[in-house]
Amino acid sequence: MAKPRVVAELGRPETPDETAARKAASSQRYRSSKTFRNLIAALIVCLGIMAVVYLGVPRGTPADTPEADVPAAAAAAEKTVGRGVIVPEVPGSWRANSALVDGGEWRIVYAPSSGYVEVTQAFDPPAQWVSRELGGYAPTGTSTIDGIEWDVYDLPSSVEKITYALSTTIGSDTVVIGLAESTDQGAATTVAESLGDQIRTLREEAR
């Protein structure tokens, strides 16, 4: 019959209760270690799955916003406001980013080769509306384009990114052609020239 093992820490053989306690503690350490390893392995697997999903799903590029249909939007605007609205004739290379009625204004935003052109027809705006919209600045001069006199605003600093503008009236309405700082000033003239006949017609209707 084998003699009981002498435990160095005790200097004597273990009792049955001590042996059982030692084995239980050893099993507990083993289970804890195994649980931790399993947790790490599970995390690694999850991260791997996430990486495969992220890299494997095609994302592409966001779809371009459709170009605004200015004539159709203008027809709808006229029904909404009950009066005629201006529709510039611009080069085919210009993109119409938006055309809508918002807050008592009919506004079209065009994107030429650089910068942008904002054409606004404000319905019955209050006095000095243009000046307030352009940072409180007064006109720096006037310019007659296709028989229509326009106030010129050559702003010393940009106001909402606008640095140059032309303004005229149609009855109680006000028309403003605003240019972003990177836009050639000739773009304002192009729009103003295309609006001459429309402005004369709408002025007659407003009388």
Residue pLDDT, tens place only, 43-54: 676 676 776 555
Give tens-digit pLDDT for 116-158. 999 999 999 999 999 999 999 999 999 999 999 999 999 999 9
Enumerate the domain spans of the chain.
11-56, 70-206
**pLDDT surpasses 70 at 60:** no
**pLDDT surpasses 80 at 9:** no
Average pLDDT over residues 101-128: 96
* CA proximity to 173, closest of 55, 77, 109: 77
Give tens-digit pLDDT for 170-183. 999 999 999 998 89
pLDDT at residue number 16: 73
Confirm whether pTM is higher than 0.85. Answer: no
Contact 195, 172 (CB under 8 A): no
Confidence of residue 62 (pLDDT cuts 50, 70, 90): very low
> How far from the centroid of its chain's Cα atoms is residue 101's Cα?
19
* CA proximity to 142, closest of 171, 103, 169, 173: 169
For domain 70-206, say whether CATH 3.40.1000 is its number: yes
Contact 114, 182 (CB under 8 A): yes
**Dmax of the chain from CA atoms?**
126
